[in-house]
Amino acid sequence: MTPMAAPPPPRPGLRDLLRTFVRWVRTLPPVIVWAGAAVAVAGVAAIAFAGYTAYDYTMNNPAFCRSCHIMEAAWTRWSTSEHRNVDCHACHEQSIVESARQVITFVVRRPERVGRHAEVPSERCAVCHESGDARWRQVAATAGHQVHAERQRIECVVCHSRSVHRIQPSTQICAECHQAQATGVRAVKIRQMAEFHCVDCHQFLRLDSPLRPTRQTCLQCHQSLPPKRTVGFPAGAAHTTLPCGTCHKPHEQARPIVACTTCHSPKPEIHAAVLAAQTPCTTCHQPHRWTVK
């Protein structure tokens, strides 16, 4: 019978290789060992530093975003905006996988415009603007935020970022939802208020207050006008306990003719001709005092 061949020796495993390496290192002079260890540590540190630098550059340095050939316009707007001191990824968060996909798309396909990416939810805005940090305008208790964000659940960017990196809402933004009040059938009827912007009366950033104009809102304008261009509002006089909007309805009428009759019942024997001619009540009654002139 032919004798069976001896099986091949087992291949050394990782543990065997490490033992062999350690035995070899022990045969080296100490100076060589320490020098090799120093080189190894320096190499690991260099690789770690390079990795961190690359990560920090791509994730925290706006210059990385600018390096894309189609980002110059967005960069210019950001650099002149209210958020110019805020890094891109502080607002635009996305996963590493999505970031890698976006980089590959830009490198391979070379698109000619910036597509939708890393959209900013209201929660990101709240990190700064509802944090209590005095460095940022706090909006949680403002009239406009409570109406639009809390009650209507409107995302911040719907009004505050209609175009890339333009955070300040445009003067036409209110009309996109409130067209009737801005230019339609309920537009302001008072000629002197025609040039007012919505937020002149509906003060968005007023704290702990309704968005509707308050008496103080109206007085801020009227008390600053010359006496010949406004009317007084004496304390203790008739109607001084009512909001101005009880009688004055700029979106409905130029003068508070109808408003008087909603509270006061005209006497036919006195007011018949006045009502027929739609004569303003203030023709006879002194405004804000209600005494007959």
- Confidence class for position 168, pLDDT limits 50, 70, 90: confident
| Residue 38 counted as domain residue | no
Q: Tell me which of 105 and 230 has the higher pLDDT.
A: 105
| Residue 89 counted as domain residue | no
3-state SS assignment for residue 131: coil
| Residue 171 counted as domain residue | yes
Rounded to an integer, the average pLDDT of 45-62 is 89
Rounded to an integer, the average pLDDT of 202-217 is 87
Same domain as 259, residue 221 = no
- Confidence class for position 228, pLDDT limits 50, 70, 90: low
Same domain as 217, residue 261 = no
Same domain as 218, residue 147 = yes
Rounded to an integer, the average pLDDT of 111-127 is 84
Same domain as 220, residue 143 = yes
Q: Looking at the chain, how many residues does it have?
A: 293
Same domain as 263, residue 203 = no
Tally the domains of the chain. 2
pLDDT at 4: 60
- Confidence class for position 156, pLDDT limits 50, 70, 90: very high
pLDDT at 171: 75
Q: List beta partners, residue 88.
A: none
- Confidence class for position 231, pLDDT limits 50, 70, 90: low
Taking a C-beta distance cutoff of 8 angstroms, is the pair 21, 14 a contact?
no
pLDDT at 53: 92
Same domain as 140, residue 208 = yes
- Exposure letters 79-115 (e unless 16+ CB within 10 A, then b): eebeeeeeebbebebeeeeebeeeeeebeeeeeeeee
pTM of the predicted model over 0.75: no
| Residue 284 counted as domain residue | yes
- Note the pLDDT tens digit of each residue in 72-85: 888 888 888 889 88
Percent of residues, the chain, with pLDDT higher than 70: 92
Mean pLDDT over the full length of the chain = 83
- Confidence class for position 52, pLDDT limits 50, 70, 90: very high
pLDDT at 100: 82
| Residue 88 counted as domain residue | no
Measuring CA to CA, how many Å separate 76 from each of 73, 164, 230? 5, 10, 46
- Note the pLDDT tens digit of each residue in 64-117: 888 877 888 888 888 888 898 888 888 988 888 888 888 888 888 887 777 777
Percent of residues, the chain, with pLDDT higher than 90: 17
- Residue where one domain finishes, among candidates 225, 242, 277: 225
Same domain as 271, residue 213 = no
- Confidence class for position 5, pLDDT limits 50, 70, 90: low
Evaluate if residue 273 carries a pLDDT over 60: yes
Same domain as 221, residue 263 = no
Range of the domain at 264: 255-293
Same domain as 221, residue 145 = yes
- Residue where one domain finishes, among candidates 187, 208, 225: 225
- Note the pLDDT tens digit of each residue in 237-272: 777 777 888 888 888 887 776 667 677 777 777 777
Q: Tell me which of 1 and 9 has the higher pLDDT.
A: 9
- Residue where one domain finishes, among candidates 225, 247, 269: 225
| Residue 130 counted as domain residue | no
| Residue 99 counted as domain residue | no
Evaluate if residue 157 carries a pLDDT over 70: yes
| Residue 63 counted as domain residue | no
Q: What is the Rg, in whole angstroms, of the alpha carbon atoms belonging to the chain?
A: 36
Those residues whose C-beta lies under 8 Å from the C-beta of residue 102, and which sit 6 or more positions away, are 94, 117
Evaluate if residue 1 carries a pLDDT over 60: no
